[in-house]
Structure 1
Amino acid sequence: MTRLFNDPTAFADEALDGFVAAHRRWVRPVTGGVVRAGATPAGQVAVVIGGGSGHYPAFSGLVGRGLAHGAAVGNVFASPSAQQIRSVARAAHGGAGVLLMYGNYAGDVLHFGQAAERLTGEGVEARTFAVTDDISSAGPEETAKRRGIAGDLPVFKAAAAAAERGLPLDDVLAVAERANARTRSFGIAFSGCTLPGADHPLFTVAQARMAVGLGIHGEPGIGEEPLPTADEAARLLVTSLLAELPDDVEGPDRQRAAVILNGLGSVKYEELFVVYRTVAELLTDAGVEIVDPEVGELVTSFDMAGISLTLTWLDDDLEALWRAPADTPAFRKGALGTPEPVRAEPVIAEETDDLAAPEGSDASRRAAAVVLDVLDALAATVDAHVGELGRIDAVAGDGDHGIGMQRGSTAARRAAVDTHALGAGAGTVLVRAADAWADKAGGTSGALWGSMLRAVGTTLGDEDAPTAARVADGVRQASAAVRRLGGAEVGDKTMVDVLVPFADTLAAATAEGVPLAAAWDRAAGAAEAAAAATADLLPRKGRARPHAEKSLGTPDAGAHSLSLITRAVHGVLNDHIGEAI
């Protein structure tokens, strides 16, 4: 388990601070993560990688010459926010565009995509690319749905080495696509990991058993088998990967492959070497030429006891890119010339909105005071249920929903208080709360809750007192935004299963002339029923999808948290009957 921490909610930030203090020869801090200590050479594409904390040396440990130009670092097992990614990308940009790279997880897809849109709008050419190497997370006919695990490293490395050659952005992206198409990974685990502050692991494996096909966020595997010997584990890993070759690889004989045997946190190096001796023997017997193998901890999951094997099938160009020199805190290969001088610049300050806020009307400012009470109730509800939400999420996911909601709601409340003190109306208060939620929570829920609050705030505005009909319209806009952004629909076992009936019921009730508090009560009832009904659904989206059967009988964590919040908000509206909202 994770034993050394202070405040668990500050763990990721404090870990990053310590990492920077220990590795100033390679990196310097910027808001949202780190960039190389030296500037990106003018005219060179900047490769910016990123993901949640808890996977060191991914992602910050891979920043340096020959590899990434920067890394955006999210909270524990949560994607960095779009603002964090944008901040790191702008600091790393050398004038030739930015390639944003990450593992294929819903939160990362949302936030990196939003960051790319914002960068492009600001004149920074940006592309995104998601690594999809894990063969256990989707079948060969659905490779785009696969998650990224230890295959992140060879794909990141190929793209970064191509950037070092001076290739233009679209060519660097093409290299990443080719490397990813030729990369496959498979893993096993013997025990789950424990998040900082938690008193139990995200999943457990019975004694003398192993989980097969695990994920790097603590997701349980797709099945269990008897505990193997080291040779049996090696055979399982190798045969699983040789059974699925890339389309343009006819067979393993006379093929070259970069090989990574990765430790996930608490499997020691000597154990890895025992396994690798048989991995190397089996691959050689199959006719594979092993090129510059890596054995060690490269993409971890806190203290998970597990290992994964990655094969990247090489052509001449990919081999040259894999062998190219690199010098980072956690990954070094070959020899580079004289180190670039460390830039003595101060830390790049976080870009924030202007301290001033548009002044709202008297009626809207009164409504904003009610919004503060709503956000108070929301945060208190999350605090009261944070453990429960984490346990529900851990059934088939990574168990971080509670702590992510807690980070987001706390940040939203703080931003709302500050904005209200500037004289802002209800709309601006909600919009700035939305941005704070998305920025501090990260992950899928951070992006979706940020979009919801922003949609409601934009609809309410700062001029008029919100009417019941306008509030209902704002909630309908929020429902549409979440479906558009996340791609989920009713029946996918997500928060959408609650949000849609809640929004529709609220709109119907207010259209009948029902006062807001009573209409909200009716809609909250619909939300509670819909959340309970998700227990009978199989997930079709997100990290829970590969473990669909495990979630039967358990409601979706995002749906459950939303239903709890709708009921808490009804209490606030009841207390304010007859006021401006």
Structure 2
Amino acid sequence: MVHICGDEDDFATHGLRAFNHIFQDIVRPVRSGALRAQPGPQGKVTVLVGGGSGHYPTFCGFVGSGFADAVVMGGIFASPSIQAVATIGRLAHRGGGIVMGFGNYAGDNLNFGIAAERLRAEGIDTRIVVTTDDVASAPPETPERRRGVAGDIIVFKIMGASADAGYDIDAVEAVSRKANDRTRSFGIAFDGCALPGSPEKIFTVPEGRMALGLGIHGEPGIDEHDLATPEVIAEALYSRVMAERPPEARRLAVLLNGAGATTTEELFVLWNALEALFERDGLTLIAPLVGSYATSLDMYGCSLTITWLDEELEGFWRAPVNAPVLCRHKVEGDWVPASRQAIAELPVHYERAETEAGSQAGRCVARAIARLAQTLHEEEAMLGRIDAIAGDGDHGQGMARGSRAAARAAEAASSAGAGARRVLEAAADAWGDRAGGTSGALWGEALFAFSTVLDDRSALEARGVRMGVLKAARRVREIGKAEPGDKTMVDALAPFVATLERHHEQPGPMTEIWAEAVQEALAGAEATKAFAARKGRAKTHGDHSKGHPDPGALSFALAMQALSPLVADLI
């Protein structure tokens, strides 16, 4: 639902007023719309676009050089009035006639159509181009019945670029119609949207399901499926827009559009799956776009739009543009498929240990890291729940991700015959790199510090393991600036280390010493239930964490416990 609203009757008006103020370097305000701040030359064809509000940056974001000359906006999901369209048309006209662009909806057809009649009666040559890109709304035999959705961005961009290039009104109309005829869109929704002031959504999608083919105002879709992987969603979108592909078409403009509530990161994940399909079919992408360009308030969903480009359309799609919705120089070159993009990386080389004992020690370290990764994967959800009480809930995910990467790196190094030091170095770097965040840095640095007391020639020994743990602990406290009682990893680490140090003076079987140290670490983690967090993100709501263990302390204790069965083999 819309949370920042005020009087719902003023929602669209206040939004337009703010838009005109924020982008005053590009637009200037008029009642119910906007004009370019710097009008085009006399004799230029005027591109006037518009429709209902609630779809930002469609339509008001289209005004600017290389795009539209003017926009006229209606209320939320409502066509602008005849009077507003005609008035803004008169204000924007530069003598070369007007080409109006809008989506294929009854209200827009009526209001823009009558306004065009009035302008023609005044001697202003006025043409209409209606977008009809939504393949879900009608079969290919009746394209005139299809709705206009996110295809507006590509069609109107080409329309505006052709007008700025000096095309006369016949040519602007013709190239715009060609762009529309070669544009297809299909959308899906995971949840509906609510109008300003309304507590109820226009439509809902059952939990765990996705609706296929919905319109941008919540118009009914054509089907409903179980929520699926990015690859399945990509195929659902791709197959429908490609079903009407012209036989000769190989080059295309592409827009993966968010419906309003969908995050750009989610769209990027989906793009990876889509891009693989384009590459599979040998298609060339020209300046693809990913983001929220045609929204429906807070609808959760996305759509895929493609335009089959010929030489003329491609030139106008590549042309420079400066509008709130899109700002870029002339686009040069084709998009290289992701699989062929060169990624700058330093080469990784693992030297084989000088002795078999060294290689054996490396394999032991790799087994230990793999065991950690398995345990942290199993405990990922639990650690995340605890972290969410006062933190951001990502501790379990970060620990699982980091340890998985560490296990892969350790396995690669040990398979190459590397010794204990090099294997642990590889694991440390991978953990810190992939886990990210505070825990990633702490664990990465701890493992790296541990590795510095080892070598690549010798077998593992109890003394080396004890020294490694001590050095790792010092490094954690050095960079984390935490002390016992701060409700951090240190509350489990400190008693674990203290136990190892105590038995340094009173030697005994390492398996027994390790088991005792683990119990002390678990007790230390349990004791953090009584503490309020004083470090990290949790400190902001420190009291909320009381009654729950610190996730960092608990994950450390569980990790050390996971190694217990391996201690006899390691040393």
TM range (shorter): 0.5 to 0.7
Q: Secondary structure at the match of 1:79?
A: coil
Deviation at 1:147, TM superposition (A): 0.4
Counterpart of 1:301 (choices 296, 301, 316) is 296
Q: Does 1:270 align with 2:272?
A: no
Q: Secondary structure at the match of 2:286?
A: strand
1 CA distance for matches of 2:211 and 2:99? Answer: 34
Q: Secondary structure at the match of 2:233?
A: helix
1:329 match: 324
Q: Contact conserved, 1:32 with 1:87, CA < 8 A, in 2? A: no
Instruction: Spell out the pairing of 1:421-432 with structure 2 (5 A cutoff).
Output: none
2:111 match: 111
1 CA distance for matches of 2:330 and 2:282? Answer: 30
1:549 match: none
* TM-score (normalised: structure 2): 0.57
Deviation at 1:251, TM superposition (A): 5.6
1 CA distance for matches of 2:330 and 2:281? Answer: 32
1:411 match: none
2:47 match: 47
1:430 match: none
Q: Does 1:250 align with 2:247?
A: yes
2 CA distance for matches of 1:39 and 1:291? Answer: 29
Q: Secondary structure at the match of 2:307?
A: strand
Q: Contact conserved, 1:62 with 1:330, CA < 8 A, in 2? A: yes
- 1:113-139 superposed Cα distances (whole Å, 9 cap, x missing partner): 001011111121111111000000000
- 1:355-409 superposed Cα distances (whole Å, 9 cap, x missing partner): xxxxxxxxxxxxxxxxxxxxxxxxxxxxxxxxxxxxxxxxxxxxxxxxxxxxxxx
2:227 match: 227
**Matched residue type, 1:122:** E
Instruction: Spell out the pairing of 1:71-110 with structure 2 (5 A cutoff).
Output: 71-110=71-110
Deviation at 1:89, TM superposition (A): 1.0
1:318 match: 313
Q: Does 1:286 align with 2:281?
A: yes
- 1:174-230 superposed Cα distances (whole Å, 9 cap, x missing partner): 001100110000000000001100111000000110110010112231221111111
* TM-score (normalised: structure 1): 0.56
- 1:398-448 superposed Cα distances (whole Å, 9 cap, x missing partner): xxxxxxxxxxxxxxxxxxxxxxxxxxxxxxxxxxxxxxxxxxxxxxxxxxx
Q: Secondary structure at the match of 1:167?
A: coil
**Matched residue type, 2:247:** E
1:150 match: 150
Instruction: Spell out the pairing of 1:334-353 with structure 2 (5 A cutoff).
Output: 334=329
Cα RMSD of the aligned pairs, angstroms, is 1.1
2 CA distance for matches of 1:12 and 1:218? Answer: 18
1:187 match: 187
Instruction: Spell out the pairing of 1:349-360 with structure 2 (5 A cutoff).
Output: none
Deviation at 1:235, TM superposition (A): 1.2
**Matched residue type, 2:302:** I
1 CA distance for matches of 2:33 and 2:270? Answer: 34
2 CA distance for matches of 1:324 and 1:314? Answer: 13
**Matched residue type, 1:214:** L
Q: Does 1:200 align with 2:197?
A: no
**Matched residue type, 2:128:** T
> Which protein has greater RCO, CA pairs closer than 8 Å, 6+ apart?
1
Q: Contact conserved, 2:191 with 2:301, CA < 8 A, in 1? A: yes
Moved over 4 A (4+): none
2:241 match: 241
Q: Contact conserved, 1:30 with 1:87, CA < 8 A, in 2? A: no
2 CA distance for matches of 1:139 and 1:105? Answer: 17
2 CA distance for matches of 1:11 and 1:266? Answer: 18
1:442 match: none
1 CA distance for matches of 2:280 and 2:119? Answer: 49
5+ residue gaps, structure 2, are 332-571
Q: Contact conserved, 1:284 with 1:290, CA < 8 A, in 2? A: no
Deviation at 1:31, TM superposition (A): 2.0
Percent identity, aligned pairs only, is 48
2:486 match: none
Deviation at 1:335, TM superposition (A): 5.7
Deviation at 1:152, TM superposition (A): 0.6
Q: Secondary structure at the match of 2:39?
A: coil
Q: Contact conserved, 1:40 with 1:93, CA < 8 A, in 2? A: no
2 CA distance for matches of 1:31 and 1:127? Answer: 22
1 CA distance for matches of 2:204 and 2:108? Answer: 26
Q: Secondary structure at the match of 1:113?
A: helix
1 CA distance for matches of 2:248 and 2:201? Answer: 40
